[in-house]
Structure 1
Amino acid sequence: MGASVPVGVFALDPVLEAGTRTTLLACPELTVCEPEDARVAVLTVDRLGPAELDMVRTIRAHRHGPAVVLVAGTLASGDVVHGLAAGARGLLLRREADASRLAHAVLAAARDDCTLPPGLLDQILNRPADARHGGVWADGMLSDRERSVLRLVADGHETAEIAQRLSYSPRTVTTVVHDITQRFRLRNRAHAVAYALRAGLL
């Protein structure tokens, strides 16, 4: 048997953190360690919202950049895409995260593999293309105008070209891109395009 994988435990709720730590201690292939020494970070949350996605990005931005496994109380298909886009390497539902499954997800993340709940993976893979394009980003998350601008950004057009093609002012185009990056906590245009591609929008 090889060396055990050092795992850090993260949670916004101390009760969730304690429960995750107890589960991980039952996994002989894993060693619970201080967060700064972790090769894999397990983040346990009730739901996946902006604060939780920010936490994934913060963990990934750490000097050693540990892989992140997300354990959530509830996960919708859109949450899976957003979690992966934020940098998670695995997602589990809390009710399914027994010692065996959690160890499997952590070991997969340590190998740079990705694990997802099978039911949610099926939802994403079996969703029609049109539904994938609108479903994850829809429900008021992206307007038609925002989608049009983002597609042209992805095609490599500059602000002035986008404005001319869509009959908007350059300032409007700049505002649209800024709104998208702020809403989804993205760094710049390139990150916005990459995020949209991973979400199946473009």
Structure 2
Amino acid sequence: MGEPLPVSVVALDPVLEAGTESTLAVCPDLSVAAPGEQPRVVVMTVDRFARTELDMLRATRDTAARPAVVLVASELAPGEALHALAAGARALLRRREADPPRLARAVLAAARGDCTLPPDLLERLLEQSAAPGRDASGTPAGWAAAGLSDRERSVLRMVADGHETSEIAQCLAYSQRTVTTVVHDITQRFRLRNRAHAVAYALRAGLL
């Protein structure tokens, strides 16, 4: 058996952080990284996954070591799972499922570059990605779960195709101000830097 894999824990709640470290401590293939030690994997433990947690995930991924991230949350809706994956999470677990064996498997898989999700959540994501149908409001199902409207999807598709604001406005019969507002709303909602980041985010999440 080789050296245990160094893992760090990040959490907004110190109780959650301590509990996750205790779980990792009983996994012989893993060790909690010492101060100053570069972790290969970070376990991020949260109650819910909202904007603050999304920013924390991105900040964790943006460090020099670029560690893989395993996200453990109390609950994860399909749209939240898409945002987490697009931001760089390698594995998603619900807290009630994160016992030592499952957490260890997810961490080791993340270190290898593999992505793991709860089977039922993966099935729901695949259904939404493949579903051609629309919800009660007429919005494509997968986009609704990701928090994007049909109008936002149309604009983002044209941005991805390289069209300028004036071309998008003319094609979709919107004013240029409306197109600019739609792109701005998308970038602000998901904490994206610019148009290119918005397109990359949507592509990584499987939304385009």
**TM-score, normalised via structure 1 length:** 0.91
Query: d(CA) in 1 for partners of 2:120 and 2:74?
Result: 15
Task: Report the 3-state secondary structure (helix = DSSP H, G, I; strand = E; otherwise coil) of the residue aligned with 1:186.
Answer: coil
Aligned to 1:3: 3
Aligned to 2:132: 130
Q: Letter of the 1:181 partner, please give it.
A: T
* Structure 1 residues 81 and 5: CA distance shift in structure 2, 3 A: same
Q: Letter of the 2:205 partner, please give it.
A: A
Cα deviation code 1:140-185 (max 9, x no counterpart): 9323322221111111112221122123333332221111011011
C-alpha deviation, 1:123, in angstroms: 1.5
Q: Letter of the 2:121 partner, please give it.
A: L
Query: d(CA) in 2 for partners of 1:140 and 1:75?
Result: 12
Aligned to 1:115: 116
For the 8 Å contact 1:9–1:35, the answer to whether it is kept is no
Query: d(CA) in 1 for partners of 2:73 and 2:62?
Result: 21
For the 8 Å contact 2:7–2:32, the answer to whether it is kept is yes
Cα deviation code 1:85-122 (max 9, x no counterpart): 11100011111111111111111111111111111111
Query: d(CA) in 1 for partners of 2:116 and 2:201?
Result: 19
How do 1:40-79 residues align onto structure 2 when only pairs under 5 Å count? 40-79=41-80
C-alpha deviation, 1:200, in angstroms: 3.5
How do 1:6-25 residues align onto structure 2 when only pairs under 5 Å count? 6-25=6-25
For the 8 Å contact 1:150–1:193, the answer to whether it is kept is yes
Cα deviation code 1:25-62 (max 9, x no counterpart): 11111110147621110000111111111110010011
Query: d(CA) in 1 for partners of 2:151 and 2:160?
Result: 14
**TM-score, normalised via structure 2 length:** 0.89
Q: Letter of the 1:150 partner, please give it.
A: L
For the 8 Å contact 2:47–2:73, the answer to whether it is kept is yes
Equivalent residue pairs, number: 202
Unaligned runs of 5+ in 2: none
Is 1:156–2:162 an aligned residue pair? yes
Unaligned runs of 5+ in 1: none
Is 1:186–2:192 an aligned residue pair? yes
Give aligned-pair identity as a percent: 68
Cα deviation code 1:117-146 (max 9, x no counterpart): 111111222344235983343269323322
Query: d(CA) in 2 for partners of 1:103 and 1:145?
Result: 42
* Structure 1 residues 164 and 90: CA distance shift in structure 2, 3 A: same
* Structure 1 residues 76 and 35: CA distance shift in structure 2, 3 A: farther
Query: d(CA) in 1 for partners of 2:95 and 2:199?
Result: 31
